[in-house]
Amino acid sequence: MRKIDILAIDDEPVINEAIERVCRTEGLSVQTVETAEEAIEKLEKEKFRLIICDLMLPGLDGFQLLEELNRRNNKTPVIVISGYSTLENSVKAIKKGALDFLPKPFTFEELLSAVYRGLEYSQIVEKVLAQSPLETDDNIYFVSCPSKYFKLGHIGWVNLTSEGTAIVGVIDLYLRTIKTVKKVELLEADENIYQGQSCLKIIDEKDVEHPFISPVSGKIIERNERLLTEPSLLEKDPFFNGWVYKVIPTDLEYERKFWDTCGHEI
């Protein structure tokens, strides 16, 4: 069975055409369909490295497609795109298994940033499923977040402290899809962050910007200043010295339903 890089699913032909045009400039193979039902038929006959799926579709919507992929144990990573880009839609899609959420309208650069991470994640999944050694250069390829932490999808973690604050950071697996961290851009202390919204920019060695979606809402009481001069801390020690923010949470009772307990990442 041949493997195609990307399956794009959107009932707006102009969006499918834009995705195809942008991805083909990077030498990627793309197939497009307009419904989730057509996508399921494609997935039964061909293999794809990445799926880009609109949230609001005729027939099965993006949420239902994610559920169907989970039911079929299909590990193809999914980037959800949507013009209905509420924060709740973002975290709900990630909770249901989406690798990323990209609001419409998106730029050329934003699309490619998500695609790069998605394709890299696909390679990681292949290694796991093939039970290949997950070590390169004598380093563990990725590590799970500590068992007492919580996580939002494969993106961010939260550590609730006894003082009532929350420490927020980036999951190692997400960082592995970025590869090398060159620079980070942090928000200021006293600013608010919101679950499902980007609160950090990570710039890689090719100067591609990658947004970090916050797993929790709250007011920043401290940011990790070391990351500004030592951005490699994110990669070297993502769950301890590489933390990003300490916040006072504002809506834990509601937001924690979107979290999973930490453990295996795939």
Across 121-145, b (16+ Cβ under 10 Å) vs e yields bbebbeebeeeeeeeeeeeebbebb
3-state class (DSSP) for residue 237: coil
**What percent of the chain stands above pLDDT 90?**
86
pLDDT digits (tens, 9 = 90+) for 52-103: 999 999 999 999 999 999 999 999 999 999 988 789 999 999 999 999 999 9
pLDDT > 60? residue 134: no
Predicted local distance difference test score (pLDDT) of residue 139: 43
pLDDT > 80? residue 130: no
Nearest to 104 by CA among 18, 212, 20: 18
User: Which residues on neighbouring strands pair with residue 261, listed in sequence order?
Assistant: 150
Domain extents in the chain: 3-129, 142-261
Residue 142 binned pLDDT confidence (cut-offs 50, 70, 90): low
Judge contact between 61 and 96, C-beta under 8 A: no
62/255 Cα distance (integer angstroms): 21
Nearest to 42 by CA among 83, 81, 74: 74
**What φ, ψ does residue 221 adopt, rounded to 5°?**
-105, -15
Predicted local distance difference test score (pLDDT) of residue 162: 95
Span 142-261: which CATH code? 2.40.50.100
- 165 HSE (CA, 13 A, CB side): 11
Predicted local distance difference test score (pLDDT) of residue 127: 81
Structure token pair of residue 5: 């890089």
Residue 17 binned pLDDT confidence (cut-offs 50, 70, 90): very high
Predicted local distance difference test score (pLDDT) of residue 71: 95
Q: Domain 3-129: state its class.
A: alpha beta
Predicted local distance difference test score (pLDDT) of residue 85: 76
Predicted local distance difference test score (pLDDT) of residue 232: 96
3-state class (DSSP) for residue 13: helix
pLDDT, average across residues 191-218: 97
Predicted local distance difference test score (pLDDT) of residue 144: 78
Nearest to 120 by CA among 167, 178, 46: 178
| Range scoring the smallest mean pLDDT among 44-48, 110-114, 211-215, 259-263 | 259-263
